[in-house]
Structure 1
Amino acid sequence: KLGVPCELRVSSAHKNTDQTLNLIAEYEGEGIPTVFVSVAGRSNGLGPVTSGNCSFPVINCPPVSGEWGPRDIWSSLRVPSGLGCTTVLFPEAAALAAAQILALSDHVIWARLKANQHNNWVALKLADKKVKAQQAL
């Protein structure tokens, strides 16, 4: 929707730490503006390990499901000191936050975000007008 380039990768900070660190290093050396979105359930080590080993923004987006879901979120919220990863609950919010970060250095993404905001504003105005017209009946 916003035309933000995206790569999906699979790694585990707990089960294969070396692979995770090597993957992070690949992106660190490219010189391309990057945002990591860490999707890790249960005890989220992926987001904090990524944040502690790179200079890019890291957004945790833990999948909330099952009996333990609400409790699993705490490992994404209470991260070790000195780490700058943030946490959102919905994939759409993570994607939007990543786009907003990348828009700081990409005018095309910035323009698409502005157009998206404008479209949301127009949709709200139209919905308000429709509700108001229905009340008049």
Structure 2
Amino acid sequence: MSNPVVLIVMGSDSDVPTMEETAKVLTEFGVPFEMRISSAHRSPERTGKLAHEAAGRGIQLIIAAAGMAAHLAGVVAAETTLPVIGVPMGGGPLSGMDALYATVQMPGGIPVATMAIGKAGAKNAALFAVQILSLTDSSLREKFAAYRAQMAVEVEQKDQALQASRRL
């Protein structure tokens, strides 16, 4: 696989199953990536170094996933000028709402694009990454357009199946 252009960083190994959705989509589109575990709170120096050095390694954007206090995306965004996409993880006593608020409520000047909680957010983070990367990659732009067109076809097919089953 060629050099990664997307860095997926997670606060814990418990986030891996959810973030496999991100990996699956990026793989489907042929976008090279790497996955790392680093915590904003338990390994702040390591996290800062990963973010700070990412651009120099050819990374073009970072997807950061964390639960609970979920400061990972913000810490990463503070250490790089690359686009950062945050994915709040579900679970915990507040079912991921704490992670959502911690990810989305960034101070002015340090933006983090924030996706939905959990697997839907993990999938959308990858799709958003593809959209960003497609700004300078026409092949990726074509793949994304085909993906969206196929989604529309699938919806129409499901509607046709529903209509056929209702006529019985």
State the TM bucket, normalised to the shorter chain. Answer: 0.7 to 0.9
- From 92, 101, 119, give the equivalent of 1:66: 92
Is the 1:33–1:102 Cα contact (8 Å) retained in structure 2?
no
Is 1:45 the equivalent of 2:76?
no
- From 19, 24, 32, give the equivalent of 1:5: 32
Residue in 2 that maps onto 1:106: 137
Is the 1:40–1:46 Cα contact (8 Å) retained in structure 2?
yes
CA distance in 1, matches of 2:135, 2:101: 29
Residue in 1 that maps onto 2:22: none
TM-score (norm 2): 0.73
Residue in 1 that maps onto 2:159: 128
Change (3 A) 1:114 1:27: same
TM-score (norm 1): 0.88
CA distance in 2, matches of 1:99, 1:61: 15
Bigger proportion of residues as strand? 2
Point out where structure 1 has 5 or more consecutive residues left out of the alignment. none
Which SS does the other structure have where 2:69 is aligned? coil
Point out where structure 2 has 5 or more consecutive residues left out of the alignment. 1-27
Q: How many residues align?
A: 136
Deviation at 1:126, TM superposition (A): 1.4
**Greater radius of gyration (CA):** 1
CA distance in 2, matches of 1:102, 1:85: 17
Change (3 A) 1:68 1:4: same
